[in-house]
Structure 1
Amino acid sequence: MNKQDQQQFFREIIKQHKGIMFKVARAYCSNEQDRQDLMQEMMIQIWRAVHKYNDQYKISTWLYRISLNVAISFYRKNSSRAKLYTSLNGQLADLPPDDAPGNEWQLNLLEQFISELKDMDKILVILYLEDKSHAEIAEIIGISVSNVGTKIGRIKDKLKARFSQLKY
């Protein structure tokens, strides 16, 4: 693939699949500036890898792998900075605002609870919520299909337990 073809392929990938990167960034970064930085880093890494793309794999699988690896690295680099901030927001999020619609509040809580999961669990939830099959998830993250099912079941139980701890 020549340089011009690579540029065109890159543009098409970003245009058609930017939602993948946005969902991953949203799961790993709670503030907008960090999300933008992570999205930029994902695009850089995708650009660097575009010439290595093997069409034997689905583009979405390839993008998830790159995006998730970049997000994990980014998260680890920035986690020490994040620890400096007190999680007052996390404590306040357990109480619904007076004017918050129920579903929006619950979705915000789900997002918060997912952000508190371990890296691998976050990845699994993101892919599960994307309606990826267990086989696709297994291919993307490199574990067995049965392991995917087991882990997703455990994560669901953790999230249910978190919701059940809330006092309305």
Structure 2
Amino acid sequence: MSQKTEHTFVALLEKHQNIVHKICRLYTNDQAAHNDLFQEITIQLWKAYPKFRGDAKFSTWMYRVALNTAITLYRKSKRKIKTQEFENVAFKIKAEEYDDTTEKQLSVMYAAIKELNDIDKALVFLYLEDKNYSEISDTLGISEVNARVKMNRIKKKLRSILNP
């Protein structure tokens, strides 16, 4: 890949890295696993970037790759996420320090969301990111009607988890 392509990718990743951090928080339980998953998602994004056609917004494409990577790795090993080495990449990404204290108010909600299955977690995540049902359906590869129905069921389920 050209250096220009690499710089464009790094700039886009730095701009949208909070998406990856939020996904990592949903699918991991500690900082080490969070860091490993962040690295693995970054690798998968880099590998998939040449196929990014620009049909969707970069952030929508990034959600899809990141969620698919997280779900795949989570399903492979429910407790520990394995990463692969990626030594031939010369770019460095300035990762923001992930500050857990800023999200302590959300810890109860995250705990409830973690009780959901993988697809429901992804749907809630996109909903909380203020994505409309059209974007959610495109990202998850389901129909818009299915996304709406699933979201209503998830809301009821979360209410029952939070208010037993």
TM-score when normalising by structure 2: 0.82
Secondary structure at 2:77's aligned position in 1? Answer: helix
- In structure 1, how many angstroms separate the alpha carbons of the residues matched to 2:8 and 2:68? 21
Task: Give 2:52's aligned residue.
Answer: 53
Larger % of helix: which? 1
Unaligned runs of 5+ in 1: 83-102
- In structure 1, how many angstroms separate the alpha carbons of the residues matched to 2:158 and 2:45? 32
% identical aligned pairs? 39
**1:104 positional shift:** 4.6
CA RMSD of aligned residues (A): 1.7
Larger radius of gyration: 1
Contact in 1 for aligned 2:33/2:80 (Cα 8 Å)? no
Distance change >3 Å, CA 34–CA 114, structure 1 → 2: same
Deviations 1:38-79 (A, max 9, x none): 000000011111111111211011101110011012212331
- In structure 2, how many angstroms separate the alpha carbons of the residues matched to 1:63 and 1:73? 15
Structure 2 counterparts to residues 84-123 of structure 1, below 5 A: 104=104, 107-123=106-122
Task: Give 1:154's aligned residue.
Answer: 153
**1:6 positional shift:** 1.9
The aligned amino acid for 2:77 is N
- In structure 1, how many angstroms separate the alpha carbons of the residues matched to 2:162 and 2:140? 27
- In structure 1, how many angstroms separate the alpha carbons of the residues matched to 2:80 and 2:70? 15
Secondary structure at 2:29's aligned position in 1? Answer: coil
- In structure 2, how many angstroms separate the alpha carbons of the residues matched to 1:142 and 1:123? 12
Structure 2 counterparts to residues 2-151 of structure 1, below 5 A: 2-79=1-78, 104=104, 107-151=106-150
Deviates more, 1:73-82 or 1:122-131: 73-82
The aligned amino acid for 1:53 is F
Secondary structure at 2:116's aligned position in 1? Answer: coil
The aligned amino acid for 2:56 is Y
Secondary structure at 1:79's aligned position in 2? Answer: coil
Contact in 2 for aligned 1:6/1:50 (Cα 8 Å)? no
The aligned amino acid for 1:26 is R
Secondary structure at 2:71's aligned position in 1? Answer: helix
- In structure 1, how many angstroms separate the alpha carbons of the residues matched to 2:61 and 2:80? 30
Task: Give 1:87's aligned residue.
Answer: none
Contact in 1 for aligned 2:137/2:144 (Cα 8 Å)? yes
- In structure 2, how many angstroms separate the alpha carbons of the residues matched to 1:71 and 1:28? 7
Contact in 2 for aligned 1:46/1:66 (Cα 8 Å)? yes
